[in-house]
Amino acid sequence: APFQLDLYNYFLTS
């Protein structure tokens, strides 16, 4: 099933 990117991790690491 498709999963949704975790925005918290995305913005924390970028």
Q: List contacts with other proteins (CB under 8 A).
A: 1-12, 14
CB of 10 to other proteins, least distance (A): 6
Residues in the chain: 14
Least Å distance, CB 9 to other proteins, is 8
Q: How far is the CB of 1 from other proteins (least distance, A)?
A: 8
Task: Dig out the tokens for 10 from the structure.
Answer: 């995305």
Report the C-alpha gap between 14 and 8 in whole angstroms.
10
